[in-house]
Amino acid sequence: MEKLTKRSVQVDRSPMTISERAYLPSILKGLGITLGHILKKKATVSYPEEKRPFSPVFRGLHILNRDEEGKERCTACGLCALACPAEAITMEAAERKAGEEHLYREEKYAAKYEINMLRCIFCGYCEEACPKDAIYLTETIMPSNYNRQSFIYKKEDLLIPDPKKQG
């Protein structure tokens, strides 16, 4: 009968020699490989003590930006929420009241702004869609936690501190 493929190999069934039966050459070969790996540089990083370098295009936690005067840049246009493929961003718009001109740039602002980081895929589409450069992704790693509610970042968590109040 003709074989379908030419990949089959005839197995050598000859009896083993004394050195092969003792497995000594195989054991020494395995020890040599192990010693070679011990002497090489470690591939792991001891995380809290040393941090590994990230790529220049790494995308981490989101930040809501302020302008030079300390006013919020977000005008609640909703383009970031529309651009998000994971639907991780929710927002509610509100009208600026009299006396709040020092807080917001435009007449409309985001009264509620939330990002569900469990849904976020860190694609950066929200950053690209924003016409006011209000949201951007930093190089900060998202911290771990045991509570699901702590992964829903609200506007207060995302907004950078006011430079005028810090100074």
> Which amino acids are annotated as binding site, given as ranges?
74, 77, 80, 84, 120, 123, 126, 130
> Residues near 75 by Cβ (< 8 Å), separated by ≥ 6?
105, 106, 108, 109, 110, 132, 134
CB 138 within 8 A of CB 63: yes
Within 10 angstroms of residue 88's Cβ, the number of other Cβ atoms is 22
Q: What is the C-alpha to C-alpha distance for residues 154 and 157, in angstroms, rounded to an integer?
A: 5
| Residue list for the binding site for [4Fe-4S] cluster | 74, 77, 80, 84, 120, 123, 126, 130
